[in-house]
Amino acid sequence: MWRDLSRAKATGPLVPYIAGFSAELESMGYRPSSVANHVLLLAHASRWLHEHGYRADELAERTEDFLAVRRTIGYTQWISPEAMAPLLTYLGSRGVAAMPAAVLATPVDDVLAGYEHYLLEERGLAIKTIQAFVRVARAFVDEHGDVTGDLTGVTAGDVLDFVSEHCRRQNPHRVATGLRVFLRYCQVAGVTTGSLSEAVPRVASWRLSSLPKTLAPEHVRSLLESCDQSSATGARNFAIVTVLVRLGLRAGEVANLELGDVDWRGGELTVRGKGSRVDRLPLPVDVGAAIAHWLEHGRPACAHPNVFIRMLAPLTPLSSGGVSDVVRAACRRAGLAPVGAHHLRHSAASEMLRGGSNLFEIGQVLRHQRLATTAIYAKIDHRTLSGVAQPWPEA
């Protein structure tokens, strides 16, 4: 624990929290020097509160005022809201420095809150999907609704204009699908007077028209070899890449793996997939060895149950984006064009195909709900396709 309080010149309402705050930071993996800087920031905030007669629970709503003072007197570091986040989070967990009272919800917020509840409770969609759909809905209401959230004046032309404009900047499928679902909800909820969902144009899509983007086996080996297993970060990255290329997991599934999901005695791995689906997969020896090496020699102790965590404080679980970042960094080290984690899922399927597995078996490992989803890999089975291809007719 950081105990050099003489440097902090601690006075004011936050003094009682110094010891607990520093201990909390240490438990989250912050280095001693970083802990010291955070405590010094706490001390400055405490003195500022004391000088102005403010209470500890007023810090959150006056954070910007405090940071402005730091900038004015010449501080060039620890002057952003992000720098204050650990302190405010800690104080909030102790019932102190509650965040400012929320702004009163507007009628538009009420409409979107009802829509969000519908997506979660009635449709059972994943949180990220709900967030994406609500963003589309909010953009549409902001452009074509009024302050009461009333959309009764919206026309089919408004819908077409919105789709045409936003599809230029965003994923067309996401915009069209999100808007279509929202307009259906609006009709049921009485927000619109008629059905406008049919006015949303269909996005052109030719299913199975493209080839899965895969890496050659030698490139996969280069990715694995680029991870220095003698370091903690390298051991983690090697385990992540190994899981991706051997089991074909999605980035989010790797990020969600928990210590209890690894059944070492039974040789199985529990995977939480899309749509709250839970499956058990065999744990290959090399995958188990890579995970075990990371857990034994690299993973720092922390309160989170996730297998893969960040290496810099705060020690929180690695996100799905972080998993893809690991793959892209490995590509750079190996001198390859950067690809995301999903390319390794395709590469795993391609390797199984080369090893003699059929599409049904590949679909089981990848946990596809429909065999038609796996059928795209038939297009890269050149050995089988060459046996059924008809000879080119002579001129």
Pick the catalytic residue: 70, 246, 250, 346? 250
Q: Which of 226, 230, 241 is nearest to 333 (CA)?
A: 226
**Is the pLDDT at 91 greater than 60, yes or no?**
yes
Pick the catalytic residue: 174, 184, 333, 342? 342
More confident residue, 6 or 272: 272
Count of all residues that appear for the chain in the document: 395
Does residue 123 form part of some domain?
yes
Q: What is the mean pLDDT of the chain?
A: 85
Task: State which amino acid sits at residue 161.
Answer: D
More confident residue, 121 or 99: 121
Q: Which of 279, 258, 253 is nearest to 341 (CA)?
A: 253
Tell me, yes or no, if 44 is annotated catalytic. no
Do both 70 and 122 map to the same domain?
A: no
**Is the pLDDT at 1 greater than 70, yes or no?**
no
Does residue 392 form part of some domain?
no
Does residue 245 form part of some domain?
yes
Mind listing the pLDDT tens digit for each residue in 31-59?
Answer: 888 999 999 999 999 999 999 999 999 99
Tell me, yes or no, if 31 is annotated catalytic. no
Average pLDDT estimate for 222-232: 94
Does residue 73 form part of some domain?
yes
Q: DSSP string spanning 164-194?
A: HHHTTTS-HHHHHHHHHHHHHHHHHHTSSSS
What is the reported pLDDT for 244? 94
| pTM for the structure as a whole | 0.68
Do both 79 and 140 map to the same domain?
A: no
Vertex 99: Cα angle to 93 and 102 (nearest 5)? 135
Pick the catalytic residue: 246, 299, 345, 367? 345
Helix (H/G/I), strand (E/B), else coil: 281: strand
Do both 81 and 120 map to the same domain?
A: no
**Is the pLDDT at 73 greater than 70, yes or no?**
yes
Does residue 386 form part of some domain?
no
Tell me, yes or no, if 250 is annotated catalytic. yes
Does residue 394 form part of some domain?
no
Mind listing the pLDDT tens digit for each residue in 298-331?
Answer: 998 888 999 999 988 888 899 988 999 999 999 9
What is the reported pLDDT for 148? 59
Tell me, yes or no, if 328 is annotated catalytic. no
Cβ–Cβ under 8 Å, residues 229 and 246: no
Mind listing the pLDDT tens digit for each residue in 336-359?
Answer: 999 989 889 888 888 888 888 878
Cis before 217? omega within 30: no
H/E segment holding residue 144: helix 127-144
Count the domains in the chain.
3
CATH code (residue 164):
1.10.150
Query: pLDDT category, 206, cuts 50, 70, 90?
Result: low
What are the start-end ranges of the E strands in 166-293? 262-263, 268-272, 278-282
Q: Which two tokens stand for residue 219?
A: 């490139």
Average pLDDT estimate for 81-106: 75
Pick the catalytic residue: 184, 272, 328, 368? 368
Does residue 136 form part of some domain?
yes
Does residue 223 form part of some domain?
yes
What are the start-end ranges of the E strands in the chain? 262-263, 268-272, 278-282
Cβ–Cβ under 8 Å, residues 144 and 162: yes
How far apart (Å, rounded) are the C-alpha atoms in residues 308 and 322? 10
Determine the structural domain holding residue 322 and report its residue range. 219-341
How many other CB atoms are found less than 10 A from the CB of residue 118? 18
Pick the catalytic residue: 274, 280, 297, 382? 274
Tell me, yes or no, if 368 is annotated catalytic. yes
Tell me, yes or no, if 128 is annotated catalytic. no
